[in-house]
Amino acid sequence: MVCGVGLISTMEIILNDRQIQAVMYVKTSGRISTGEYQAMTKTSESTALRELRQLTKLCVFEKVGAFGRAAHYVVAKAKPVINPSNPSEIDD
C-alpha cells in the first residue's frame, strides 16, 4: 500500500501512548532507532520492532536503511492524493 492512497487516507489512525511519544520525539529529533524506541518506552526489542513496523505500515514513519544498526525511522513524507473523479488535478 502506498502512503496517502486508499483506506489509510480516509480512516482514523489510533496510536498507543508509546507510539505517540515516539512520533513527538521524531518530530523534534528527526529520527528514531529501534534501540532509542526501546529505551524511551521501556519495551522489549520485539515490541519496539512491532510498534515501529505498525507506524511504518500506517504511513506515519518511513524506514531508512535496510537493517541493522544503520536502520532508523523518520516521519513519512506525505504522498499526493489524486482524485480520479476530477481529471483537472492530474498533471501530465
pLDDT in tens, 26-69: 999 999 999 999 999 999 999 999 999 999 998 899 999 877 77
The grid coordinates of residue 40 equal 524511551
Cell of 90: 492530474
Cβ neighbours for 26, distance < 8 A, ≥ 6 positions apart: 32, 61, 73, 74, 75
More confident residue, 66 or 72: 72
Q: What is the pLDDT of residue 90?
A: 47
**Structure confidence at residue 77 (pLDDT):** 82
Residue-range domain boundaries for the chain: 6-79
Closest CA to 72 of 40, 42, 30: 30
The fold adopted by the segment(s) 6-79 is Arc Repressor Mutant, subunit A (1.10.10)
pLDDT at residue 86 greater than cutoff 80? no
The pLDDT of 1-10, averaged and rounded, is: 50
Q: State percent of the chain over pLDDT 70.
A: 71
Provide the mean pLDDT of the chain: 80
Distance CA 78, CA 31 (A): 16
Contact 61, 71 (CB under 8 A): no
